[in-house]
Amino acid sequence: MKELFKPIYQEQINDANTLGIILIEKTKPDSSITDNFDVIMLVIVKASNTDHHEKHYEFNNKTAAMLTLTENSLNKWIDTNGNRKSVEWIFAGKVVFDRDGYISKLKDQLRRFPHEKRDLRKAMEFGELLKSYSEARDLYMSEQYKDAFSRMVRTLHYLARLALVEKGYHPEVTLWNQVKKIDPEIYKLYDELIESDEPIAKRVQLMMLAADFVISRRAKVSAKHLLEIMEEKSTWSYEELKNHSKIASYVFGLTAILHYLTEKGILAVETEETKVGGVYLRRYHVN
């Protein structure tokens, strides 16, 4: 396969802007990892006019997609889960070009999963987890049990991702197969929700209780990234936190995180007078 598509990517090899090229081959009839192309050609470049662009090819009855991606865009995908396949592409693909060991160094960094990157990902997954759990609980209280069940499955999905990141692993596309080996406790919750013979409403009710306990136990560790930022000064308004550059990756989960941490006493609230009588601005600080 490598030689078959070499004429297509040879031009990129000769370009000094190219850092590395990885081929990801289709290994089964239906392959989500390659979007059902016979091969994905991932070309990583130093800089480009666009963050990424993609071309589709057909050659000798084979299909291919060549995705050209800047180094910054790839790092963003990895750090923020912008494309959940990207880590698997790097580890599972065949390296056909590696300028100055760029891809080797990238793989090493991914294996180490530095704590600062891990803390950011935990905060991101925690925000999504809390939003999903709140929706599941609201649907349950509204007696929309099938929708609550669906949302609870999604909640456990975020909980599983959070558990993997805590232990230094990047979540993969085959998430539950990965979780079964690395965090049997979370896998057991998922298995109980899916496989139980109890009525759907009962399953959701029991899982809400279990999930609440597990989430509460992980709250401080999961929110470490935010809590460390908040310790930089005495109090913060929501607007100040929202506009902080380091929080941009999980800004849409920020409200849910603040509410939960306040509810659990990890954060405290002070009020500040506004120009409108009887209306106060909420300011948060670490308790």
pLDDT tens-digit readout, 29-74: 777 888 889 899 999 999 888 778 899 988 888 898 999 999 999 9
Per the CB < 8 A criterion, the answer to whether 21 and 12 are in contact is: yes
CA distance 284 to 267: 6
Kindly list the structural domains of the chain, giving each domain's residue range(s) and its CATH number in brackets, ordered by start: 6-112 (3.30.460.10), 115-280 (1.20.120.330)
What phi and psi, each to the nearest 5 degrees, are found at residue 232? -70, -25
Instruction: Please tell me the predicted confidence (pLDDT) of residue 1.
Output: 62
Would you state the structure tokens that stand for residue 146, as one six-digit string? 């099938």
Q: What is the pTM of this model?
A: 0.86
Instruction: Please tell me the predicted confidence (pLDDT) of residue 2.
Output: 67
Instruction: Please tell me the predicted confidence (pLDDT) of residue 61.
Output: 85
Kind of pairing, strands 280-286 and 236-237?
antiparallel
Instruction: Please tell me the predicted confidence (pLDDT) of residue 188.
Output: 94
Q: Give the CA distances from residue 45 to residues 17, 58, 67, 124, in Å, rounded to whole numbers and listed in that order.
A: 6, 23, 11, 27
* Residue with the two structure tokens 């499955």: 153
Instruction: Please tell me the predicted confidence (pLDDT) of residue 33.
Output: 83
How many C-beta atoms lie closer than 10 Å to residue 30's C-beta? 6
Instruction: Please tell me the predicted confidence (pLDDT) of residue 9.
Output: 81
Instruction: Please tell me the predicted confidence (pLDDT) of residue 42.
Output: 94
- Positions of the chain with pLDDT lower than 50, given as ranges: none
